[in-house]
Structure 1
């Protein structure tokens, strides 16, 4: 973890104040004054501010039901940020694990544990994500075959990994993928001659969405640890 992030998580200082105290020589790591905010430190290091040892706050792991027309961003933009729906302190320390497009709804994970989120989003993790897809045209058996075999998307040099399709009816399917390419789901259906009208993420790994729109909760200990199985497979 970067030193400035460690100090931020261990004090009530904001980002600008953290940079100032570090660059002013008020922070030491293992009895050595450090003025470089970007230096990497570990929780086991002896880190002090004004001679007081710092202890970071415990990591937080959240599940949020993202509503349509919201941004997976820490700040508002063309649409409001999803963080407006979360009532929690120190929200600026949190980040989203696997973003969704503004018009996409469903499950998002939020944390301040960078190593945990990295282990979920790494391309070799094979962590499954399940989406409920509403299509513009009835899906064909040929399209299902191509999606389940993997297909080459425009501008890509490698094919998508094989997907899993469960057909609900002609216009609705459940799609499971283990990647997170740019606009991947929409591009996959475009590649087989269809268009996504609505997209909703229902599940990541073993964690399923169980909340109404805009609601959030803390993950359970078992949900947090369940993502370790994917790192063991890599």
Structure 2
């Protein structure tokens, strides 16, 4: 199957958003925005969404030529409180400048400014899409401290799924276990904006500390705040195995495109 995809891409080219993603420039969604803004060119012509890139074509992104990234990069970073998970230079506390990694990478998802813990950064755009797609049910684990004693009713409500009025969504049932009087562990397969904080607020609690300790098979461990490490070969192998059957785009989009992506 993978060989068929590679052969087809050699003959028909790679969609421009996927090309930019796999080159380590940005995610497919961000690429789509830049294409719509007129910042992407293919062989001297302004690109449009859906364009394909064939071997030998010259691609310009925001004024700079794109050279496909061949080295696979994936790092685990312990984000401190106050750092923002964005590549936007206008954000003074952006995660990219803070890490100052020598090659272009971008974060896999987000961890809000007031939270800390594990976040992965990579140059592998398609892997990012597979890891972040909620429909793929990949796990993220957190240790959370709240402002009052945890009750059996609180654990029941949190684990059973809640309606979040601000977002007009229902959270999925999840695993929640008590650690001590005011701390619990929670495993999510979704990533709504400030989801855990909103869930706690719905139950009348306020989060005082939130630490992400695991993303799929990768653990935070004893990684110090503000430091990073490269994933081991074993971690990468396991991560790829876990995402091998995952979608990198919404399921409906796969059907519409005949499963090409």
TM-score band, normalised by the shorter chain? 0.7 to 0.9
TM-score between both structures, scaled by the size of structure 2 = 0.70
Aligned length: 212
C-alpha displacement of 1:103:
1.1
Partner residue of 1:28?
none
TM-score between both structures, scaled by the size of structure 1 = 0.77
After superposition, the Cα gap between the structure-2 partners of 1:188 and 1:56, relative to the gap in structure 1 and judged at 3 Å, is: same
- Out of 145, 165, 180, the position equivalent to 1:169 is 180
After superposition, the Cα gap between the structure-2 partners of 1:23 and 1:97, relative to the gap in structure 1 and judged at 3 Å, is: closer
Q: Quick check: 1:216 aligned with 2:216? A: no
- Out of 67, 81, 87, the position equivalent to 1:74 is 87
RMSD: 3.1
- In 2, Cα distance between the equivalents of 1:217 and 1:158? 35
C-alpha displacement of 1:130:
0.8
Q: Quick check: 1:2 aligned with 2:39? A: no
Secondary structure in 2 aligned to 1:232? coil
Where in structure 1 are there 5+ consecutive unaligned residues? 26-33
- Kept in 2, the 8 Å contact 1:69–1:79? The answer is no
Secondary structure in 2 aligned to 1:65? strand
Where in structure 2 are there 5+ consecutive unaligned residues? 1-14, 26-33, 60-66, 248-261
- In 2, Cα distance between the equivalents of 1:232 and 1:124? 12
Q: Quick check: 1:226 aligned with 2:238? A: yes
- Kept in 2, the 8 Å contact 1:63–1:219? The answer is yes
Rg larger in structure: 1
C-alpha displacement of 1:57:
2.8
- In 2, Cα distance between the equivalents of 1:220 and 1:107? 15
After superposition, the Cα gap between the structure-2 partners of 1:7 and 1:105, relative to the gap in structure 1 and judged at 3 Å, is: closer
- Kindly report which structure 2 residues correspond to 1:165-204, keeping only aligned pairs within 5 A, or say none: 165-204=176-215
- Kept in 2, the 8 Å contact 1:63–1:108? The answer is yes
